[in-house]
Protein backbone atom coordinates (compact mmCIF):
# COMPACT_ATOMS: atom_id res chain seq x y z
CA UNK A 1 0.00 0.00 0.00
CA UNK A 2 1.61 3.22 -1.11
CA UNK A 3 1.37 6.70 0.33
CA UNK A 4 2.05 10.02 -1.32
CA UNK A 5 3.77 12.87 0.47
CA UNK A 6 2.50 15.88 -1.50
CA UNK A 7 2.36 19.22 0.28
CA UNK A 8 -1.09 20.13 1.64
CA UNK A 9 -0.88 23.41 -0.18
CA UNK A 10 -0.12 21.87 -3.58
CA UNK A 11 -2.86 22.32 -6.13
CA UNK A 12 -4.03 18.91 -7.24
CA UNK A 13 -6.81 17.86 -9.63
CA UNK A 14 -8.54 15.49 -7.23
CA UNK A 15 -8.20 13.55 -4.02
CA UNK A 16 -8.15 10.29 -5.94
CA UNK A 17 -5.15 11.45 -7.92
CA UNK A 18 -3.08 11.37 -4.72
CA UNK A 19 -3.56 7.64 -4.32
CA UNK A 20 -1.94 4.69 -6.03
CA UNK A 21 -4.03 2.67 -8.50
CA UNK A 22 -4.47 -0.02 -5.86
CA UNK A 23 -5.64 2.43 -3.21
CA UNK A 24 -7.75 4.53 -5.57
CA UNK A 25 -10.36 1.79 -5.82
CA UNK A 26 -10.15 0.81 -2.15
CA UNK A 27 -13.87 1.39 -1.57
CA UNK A 28 -14.67 -0.98 -4.45
CA UNK A 29 -12.38 -3.73 -3.14
CA UNK A 30 -13.82 -3.43 0.37
CA UNK A 31 -17.44 -3.53 -0.82
CA UNK A 32 -16.59 -6.57 -2.94
CA UNK A 33 -14.91 -8.25 0.05
CA UNK A 34 -17.97 -7.59 2.22
CA UNK A 35 -20.26 -8.99 -0.49
CA UNK A 36 -18.05 -12.07 -0.96
CA UNK A 37 -17.97 -12.70 2.78
CA UNK A 38 -21.73 -12.35 3.16
CA UNK A 39 -22.28 -14.53 0.09
CA UNK A 40 -19.98 -17.27 1.37
CA UNK A 41 -21.66 -17.18 4.77
CA UNK A 42 -25.02 -17.73 3.11
CA UNK A 43 -24.01 -20.11 0.33
CA UNK A 44 -21.71 -22.54 2.15
CA UNK A 45 -23.56 -24.48 4.87
CA UNK A 46 -21.59 -24.76 8.10
CA UNK A 47 -18.82 -22.39 6.96
CA UNK A 48 -19.40 -20.03 9.87
CA UNK A 49 -19.21 -22.89 12.38
CA UNK A 50 -16.06 -24.30 10.74
CA UNK A 51 -14.33 -20.89 10.80
CA UNK A 52 -15.45 -20.24 14.38
CA UNK A 53 -13.77 -23.45 15.54
CA UNK A 54 -10.38 -22.32 14.23
CA UNK A 55 -9.47 -20.37 17.34
CA UNK A 56 -7.05 -20.34 20.23
CA UNK A 57 -7.96 -18.95 23.63
CA UNK A 58 -11.10 -17.36 22.20
CA UNK A 59 -9.09 -15.61 19.45
CA UNK A 60 -10.12 -16.32 15.86
CA UNK A 61 -6.97 -17.49 14.10
CA UNK A 62 -8.16 -16.56 10.56
CA UNK A 63 -8.95 -13.00 11.70
CA UNK A 64 -5.69 -12.82 13.65
CA UNK A 65 -3.79 -13.89 10.51
CA UNK A 66 -5.56 -11.30 8.39
CA UNK A 67 -4.88 -8.49 10.86
CA UNK A 68 -1.23 -9.51 11.18
CA UNK A 69 -0.74 -9.39 7.40
CA UNK A 70 -2.69 -6.11 7.28
CA UNK A 71 -0.77 -4.29 10.03
CA UNK A 72 2.74 -5.62 9.48
CA UNK A 73 3.68 -3.57 6.37
CA UNK A 74 2.41 -0.33 7.92
CA UNK A 75 4.20 -0.93 11.23
CA UNK A 76 7.38 -1.77 9.31
CA UNK A 77 7.15 1.76 7.83
CA UNK A 78 7.14 3.45 11.24
CA UNK A 79 10.37 5.27 12.11
CA UNK A 80 10.64 4.13 15.71
CA UNK A 81 13.49 6.52 16.46
CA UNK A 82 10.98 9.38 16.10
CA UNK A 83 8.50 8.21 18.75
CA UNK A 84 9.92 10.59 21.36
CA UNK A 85 8.63 13.51 19.33
CA UNK A 86 5.12 12.05 19.56
CA UNK A 87 5.14 11.26 23.28
CA UNK A 88 6.37 14.79 23.92
CA UNK A 89 3.29 16.26 22.20
CA UNK A 90 1.08 16.79 25.25
CA UNK A 91 -1.85 18.20 23.26
CA UNK A 92 -2.00 15.06 21.15
CA UNK A 93 -1.56 12.59 24.02
CA UNK A 94 -4.02 14.23 26.42
CA UNK A 95 -6.60 14.80 23.69
CA UNK A 96 -6.41 11.14 22.63
CA UNK A 97 -6.82 9.83 26.17
CA UNK A 98 -9.79 12.08 26.95
CA UNK A 99 -11.56 11.42 23.65
CA UNK A 100 -11.02 7.66 23.67
CA UNK A 101 -11.61 6.84 27.31
CA UNK A 102 -13.97 9.57 28.51
CA UNK A 103 -15.93 10.96 25.56
CA UNK A 104 -16.07 7.91 23.26
CA UNK A 105 -17.75 5.48 25.70
CA UNK A 106 -20.05 8.26 26.96
CA UNK A 107 -21.17 9.18 23.44
CA UNK A 108 -21.92 5.54 22.57
CA UNK A 109 -23.78 5.07 25.87
CA UNK A 110 -25.97 8.11 25.13
CA UNK A 111 -26.66 7.08 21.52
CA UNK A 112 -27.47 3.50 22.53
CA UNK A 113 -30.10 4.70 24.99
CA UNK A 114 -31.49 7.33 22.60
CA UNK A 115 -31.92 5.01 19.63
CA UNK A 116 -32.32 1.58 21.25
CA UNK A 117 -34.11 2.24 24.54
CA UNK A 118 -36.68 -0.46 23.68
CA UNK A 119 -34.07 -3.04 22.63
CA UNK A 120 -31.85 -3.78 25.66
CA UNK A 121 -29.76 -6.53 24.03
CA UNK A 122 -28.73 -4.38 21.07
CA UNK A 123 -28.22 -1.41 23.38
CA UNK A 124 -25.82 -3.39 25.54
CA UNK A 125 -23.97 -4.66 22.47
CA UNK A 126 -23.46 -1.12 21.19
CA UNK A 127 -22.13 0.05 24.54
CA UNK A 128 -19.59 -2.79 24.47
CA UNK A 129 -18.50 -1.67 20.98
CA UNK A 130 -17.97 1.83 22.36
CA UNK A 131 -15.75 0.51 25.15
CA UNK A 132 -13.45 -1.40 22.78
CA UNK A 133 -11.15 1.30 21.43
CA UNK A 134 -9.39 0.61 18.15
CA UNK A 135 -5.89 -0.88 18.18
CA UNK A 136 -5.67 -2.52 14.76
CA UNK A 137 -7.56 -1.41 11.66
CA UNK A 138 -7.03 2.27 12.48
CA UNK A 139 -3.43 1.76 11.34
CA UNK A 140 -4.70 1.25 7.79
CA UNK A 141 -7.16 4.17 7.73
CA UNK A 142 -4.50 6.48 9.16
CA UNK A 143 -1.92 5.44 6.57
CA UNK A 144 -4.33 5.89 3.67
CA UNK A 145 -5.23 9.36 4.94
CA UNK A 146 -1.51 10.29 5.13
CA UNK A 147 -1.67 10.53 8.89
CA UNK A 148 1.36 10.43 11.19
CA UNK A 149 2.52 6.81 11.34
CA UNK A 150 4.64 7.33 14.44
CA UNK A 151 1.75 9.05 16.23
CA UNK A 152 -0.60 6.22 15.25
CA UNK A 153 1.80 3.63 16.67
CA UNK A 154 2.03 5.52 19.96
CA UNK A 155 -1.72 6.12 20.28
CA UNK A 156 -2.73 2.53 19.55
CA UNK A 157 -0.15 1.34 22.07
CA UNK A 158 -1.61 3.78 24.59
CA UNK A 159 -5.11 2.51 23.84
CA UNK A 160 -3.88 -1.03 24.35
CA UNK A 161 -2.60 -0.30 27.84
CA UNK A 162 -5.83 1.43 28.82
CA UNK A 163 -7.86 -1.36 27.23
CA UNK A 164 -6.30 -3.90 29.58
CA UNK A 165 -6.63 -1.64 32.62
CA UNK A 166 -9.96 0.07 32.01
CA UNK A 167 -12.22 -2.12 29.85
CA UNK A 168 -13.68 -4.16 32.72
CA UNK A 169 -14.10 -1.11 34.97
CA UNK A 170 -15.83 0.92 32.26
CA UNK A 171 -18.04 -2.06 31.44
CA UNK A 172 -19.23 -2.16 35.04
CA UNK A 173 -19.74 1.63 35.09
CA UNK A 174 -21.74 1.95 31.85
CA UNK A 175 -23.65 -1.33 31.95
CA UNK A 176 -24.30 -1.79 35.66
CA UNK A 177 -23.75 1.33 37.80
CA UNK A 178 -24.76 4.25 35.56
CA UNK A 179 -28.15 2.88 34.37
CA UNK A 180 -29.13 2.43 38.01
CA UNK A 181 -27.97 5.91 39.00
CA UNK A 182 -29.95 7.43 36.11
CA UNK A 183 -33.00 5.22 36.87
CA UNK A 184 -32.86 3.74 33.38
CA UNK A 185 -33.53 0.19 34.51
CA UNK A 186 -31.62 -2.86 35.64
CA UNK A 187 -27.96 -3.05 34.72
CA UNK A 188 -25.99 -5.80 32.98
CA UNK A 189 -22.98 -7.65 34.35
CA UNK A 190 -20.06 -7.92 31.93
CA UNK A 191 -18.09 -11.10 32.47
CA UNK A 192 -14.67 -10.60 30.88
CA UNK A 193 -11.27 -11.37 32.36
CA UNK A 194 -8.29 -9.03 32.22
CA UNK A 195 -6.22 -11.95 30.92
CA UNK A 196 -8.51 -12.35 27.90
CA UNK A 197 -8.31 -8.64 27.11
CA UNK A 198 -4.51 -8.74 27.44
CA UNK A 199 -4.38 -11.74 25.09
CA UNK A 200 -6.50 -9.84 22.56
CA UNK A 201 -4.12 -6.88 22.75
CA UNK A 202 -1.06 -9.13 22.45
CA UNK A 203 -2.36 -10.90 19.34
CA UNK A 204 -3.85 -7.95 17.48
CA UNK A 205 -1.22 -5.35 18.29
CA UNK A 206 1.77 -6.88 20.08
CA UNK A 207 2.72 -9.44 17.42
CA UNK A 208 2.56 -7.14 14.34
CA UNK A 209 4.17 -4.29 16.29
CA UNK A 210 7.12 -6.47 17.30
CA UNK A 211 7.41 -7.81 13.74
CA UNK A 212 7.36 -4.31 12.27
CA UNK A 213 9.90 -3.00 14.80
CA UNK A 214 12.34 -5.88 14.19
CA UNK A 215 11.95 -5.58 10.42
CA UNK A 216 12.75 -1.86 10.58
CA UNK A 217 15.77 -2.34 12.84
CA UNK A 218 17.26 -5.30 10.96
CA UNK A 219 16.37 -3.90 7.53
CA UNK A 220 18.03 -0.55 8.19
CA UNK A 221 21.07 -2.28 9.66
CA UNK A 222 21.50 -4.39 6.52
CA UNK A 223 20.33 -2.01 3.76
CA UNK A 224 20.51 1.44 5.28
CA UNK A 225 17.46 3.66 5.78
CA UNK A 226 17.28 5.03 2.26
CA UNK A 227 17.45 1.63 0.54
CA UNK A 228 15.11 0.06 3.12
CA UNK A 229 12.43 2.66 2.46
CA UNK A 230 12.93 2.92 -1.29
CA UNK A 231 13.39 -0.76 -2.19
CA UNK A 232 11.99 -2.97 0.57
CA UNK A 233 8.88 -1.15 1.82
CA UNK A 234 7.20 -0.83 -1.61
CA UNK A 235 7.45 -4.62 -2.00
CA UNK A 236 5.55 -5.41 1.19
CA UNK A 237 3.18 -2.41 1.04
CA UNK A 238 0.37 -4.05 -1.00
CA UNK A 239 0.06 -6.86 1.56
CA UNK A 240 -1.63 -4.39 3.92
CA UNK A 241 -4.57 -4.19 1.53
CA UNK A 242 -4.57 -7.95 0.93
CA UNK A 243 -4.69 -8.56 4.68
CA UNK A 244 -7.50 -6.04 5.11
CA UNK A 245 -9.62 -7.64 2.38
CA UNK A 246 -8.95 -11.15 3.74
CA UNK A 247 -10.00 -10.03 7.23
CA UNK A 248 -13.22 -8.50 5.91
CA UNK A 249 -14.11 -11.63 3.94
CA UNK A 250 -13.55 -13.87 6.97
CA UNK A 251 -15.40 -11.55 9.35
CA UNK A 252 -18.48 -11.33 7.17
CA UNK A 253 -18.39 -15.01 6.26
CA UNK A 254 -18.52 -15.79 9.99
CA UNK A 255 -21.65 -13.66 10.46
CA UNK A 256 -23.15 -13.55 6.96
CA UNK A 257 -26.24 -15.60 7.76
CA UNK A 258 -26.97 -13.69 10.96
CA UNK A 259 -26.73 -10.33 9.21
CA UNK A 260 -28.83 -11.25 6.18
CA UNK A 261 -31.53 -13.00 8.24
CA UNK A 262 -32.26 -9.91 10.36
CA UNK A 263 -32.07 -6.87 8.06
CA UNK A 264 -34.47 -4.67 10.06
CA UNK A 265 -32.54 -5.29 13.27
CA UNK A 266 -29.30 -4.50 11.44
CA UNK A 267 -30.83 -1.22 10.25
CA UNK A 268 -31.89 -0.26 13.80
CA UNK A 269 -28.36 -0.92 15.09
CA UNK A 270 -26.76 0.86 12.13
CA UNK A 271 -28.38 4.25 12.79
CA UNK A 272 -26.67 5.05 16.13
CA UNK A 273 -23.40 3.65 14.77
CA UNK A 274 -23.51 6.03 11.80
CA UNK A 275 -24.17 8.95 14.14
CA UNK A 276 -21.36 7.79 16.44
CA UNK A 277 -18.71 7.54 13.72
CA UNK A 278 -19.71 10.91 12.25
CA UNK A 279 -19.67 12.68 15.64
CA UNK A 280 -16.43 11.14 16.84
CA UNK A 281 -14.45 11.65 13.63
CA UNK A 282 -15.71 15.11 12.67
CA UNK A 283 -15.61 16.43 16.23
CA UNK A 284 -12.10 15.14 16.82
CA UNK A 285 -10.83 16.39 13.47
CA UNK A 286 -12.22 19.85 14.27
CA UNK A 287 -10.61 19.71 17.72
CA UNK A 288 -7.22 18.78 16.29
CA UNK A 289 -7.28 21.74 13.92
CA UNK A 290 -8.54 24.07 16.66
CA UNK A 291 -5.72 23.23 19.07
CA UNK A 292 -3.10 23.73 16.37
CA UNK A 293 -2.12 20.17 15.45
CA UNK A 294 -0.63 19.60 12.01
CA UNK A 295 -2.77 17.79 9.44
CA UNK A 296 -1.05 14.42 9.84
CA UNK A 297 -1.55 14.32 13.61
CA UNK A 298 -5.08 15.70 13.35
CA UNK A 299 -6.00 12.84 10.99
CA UNK A 300 -4.37 10.31 13.32
CA UNK A 301 -6.25 11.70 16.31
CA UNK A 302 -9.56 11.56 14.42
CA UNK A 303 -9.19 7.99 13.14
CA UNK A 304 -8.02 6.60 16.49
CA UNK A 305 -11.05 8.27 18.10
CA UNK A 306 -13.60 6.95 15.59
CA UNK A 307 -12.36 3.35 15.24
CA UNK A 308 -13.24 0.43 17.50
CA UNK A 309 -11.74 -2.96 18.31
CA UNK A 310 -14.49 -5.05 16.71
CA UNK A 311 -12.80 -8.36 17.48
CA UNK A 312 -12.71 -7.66 21.22
CA UNK A 313 -16.30 -6.36 21.22
CA UNK A 314 -17.60 -9.45 19.41
CA UNK A 315 -15.58 -11.82 21.60
CA UNK A 316 -16.85 -10.19 24.80
CA UNK A 317 -20.47 -10.17 23.59
CA UNK A 318 -20.36 -13.82 22.54
CA UNK A 319 -18.47 -14.95 25.65
CA UNK A 320 -20.86 -13.16 28.01
CA UNK A 321 -24.23 -13.39 26.29
CA UNK A 322 -23.90 -16.18 23.70
CA UNK A 323 -23.29 -16.44 19.97
CA UNK A 324 -26.99 -16.00 19.05
CA UNK A 325 -27.58 -13.06 21.39
CA UNK A 326 -28.63 -9.58 20.36
CA UNK A 327 -25.46 -8.27 21.99
CA UNK A 328 -23.36 -10.40 19.63
CA UNK A 329 -25.35 -9.18 16.61
CA UNK A 330 -24.72 -5.56 17.62
CA UNK A 331 -21.00 -6.33 17.82
CA UNK A 332 -21.07 -7.87 14.33
CA UNK A 333 -22.92 -4.91 12.82
CA UNK A 334 -20.13 -2.66 14.17
CA UNK A 335 -17.58 -3.45 11.43
CA UNK A 336 -20.37 -3.74 8.84
CA UNK A 337 -20.92 0.01 9.32
CA UNK A 338 -17.45 1.07 10.46
CA UNK A 339 -15.50 -0.25 7.47
CA UNK A 340 -17.31 1.62 4.66
CA UNK A 341 -17.82 4.76 6.77
CA UNK A 342 -14.15 5.08 7.70
CA UNK A 343 -13.11 4.38 4.11
CA UNK A 344 -15.32 7.31 3.08
CA UNK A 345 -13.75 9.43 5.84
CA UNK A 346 -10.29 8.71 4.40
CA UNK A 347 -11.37 10.62 1.29
CA UNK A 348 -12.96 13.37 3.39
CA UNK A 349 -9.74 13.68 5.38
CA UNK A 350 -7.61 14.02 2.25
CA UNK A 351 -9.98 16.66 0.87
CA UNK A 352 -9.83 18.68 4.11
CA UNK A 353 -6.04 18.44 4.08
CA UNK A 354 -5.99 21.49 1.84
CA UNK A 355 -7.45 23.61 4.64
CA UNK A 356 -4.26 23.28 6.67
CA UNK A 357 -1.45 25.83 6.20
CA UNK A 358 1.58 24.70 4.23
CA UNK A 359 4.04 22.82 6.44
CA UNK A 360 1.32 21.84 8.88
Integer Cα distance of 27 and 122 in angstroms: 28
Q: What is the pLDDT of residue 358?
A: 63
CATH code assigned at 89:
1.20.1530.20
CA distance 27 to 339: 9
> At residue 6, does pLDDT exceed 50?
no
Closest CA to 357 of 7, 92, 91: 7
Nearest one of 180, 157, 140, 146 to 100, comparing CA atoms: 157
Q: Among 346, 232, 252, which residue's Cα sits nearest to residue 300?
A: 346
* Residue 11: per-residue pLDDT: 39
**Has residue 7 got a pLDDT over 60?**
no
* HEC-encoded secondary structure of 57-70: CCEEHHHHHHHHHH
pTM for the whole structure: 0.80
Is residue 216 domain-resident? yes
Three-state SS sequence of 186-234:
CCCCCCCCHHHHHHHHHHHHHHHHHHHHHHHHHHHHHHCHHHHHHHHHH
Instruction: Return the higher-pLDDT residue of 49 and 346.
Output: 346
Is position 5 within any domain? no
pLDDT value at residue 291: 94
Of 301, 346, 289, 356, whose CA–CA distance to 146 is shortest?
346
Asked, for residue 21, whether it belongs to a domain, the answer is yes
Strand pairing of 59-60 and 55-56?
antiparallel
Q: What's the domain range around 196?
A: 16-353
Asked if residue 96 is part of any domain, the answer here is yes
DSSP secondary structure, 78-102, as one string: --GGGHHHHHT-HHHHHHHHHIIII
Average pLDDT over residues 228-252: 86
Burial class from Cβ neighbours inside 10 Å (0-12, 13-18, 19+) for residue 312 reads buried
Looking at per-residue pLDDT, the higher value among 322 and 39 belongs to: 39
- The number of folded domains in the chain is 1
CB atoms inside a 10 Å sphere around CB 277? 21
The pLDDT value recorded for residue 191 is 65
Average predicted confidence (pLDDT) for the chain: 83
Cβ atoms of 158 and 86 within 8 Å: the answer is: no
Q: Looking at the domain assignment, is residue 72 inside a domain?
A: yes
pLDDT tens-digit series, residues 111-170: 999 999 989 999 999 999 999 888 777 888 898 899 999 999 889 888 888 888 888 888
Asked whether the predicted pLDDT for residue 44 surpasses 90, the reply is: no
Return d(Cα 76, Cα 161) in angstroms, integer.
21
Q: How confident is the model at residue 22 (pLDDT cuts 50, 70, 90)?
A: low
Q: Do the domain assignments include residue 316?
A: yes
Amino acid sequence: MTRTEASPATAEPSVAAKLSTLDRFLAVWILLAMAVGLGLGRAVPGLDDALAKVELGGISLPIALGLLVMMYPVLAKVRYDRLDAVTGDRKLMVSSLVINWVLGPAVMFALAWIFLADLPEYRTGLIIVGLARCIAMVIIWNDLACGDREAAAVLVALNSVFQVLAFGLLGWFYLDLLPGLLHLGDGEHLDISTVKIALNVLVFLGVPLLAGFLTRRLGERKLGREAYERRFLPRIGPFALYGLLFTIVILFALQGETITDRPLDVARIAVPLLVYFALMWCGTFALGKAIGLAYDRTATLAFTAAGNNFELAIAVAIGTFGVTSGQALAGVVGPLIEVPVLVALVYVSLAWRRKFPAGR
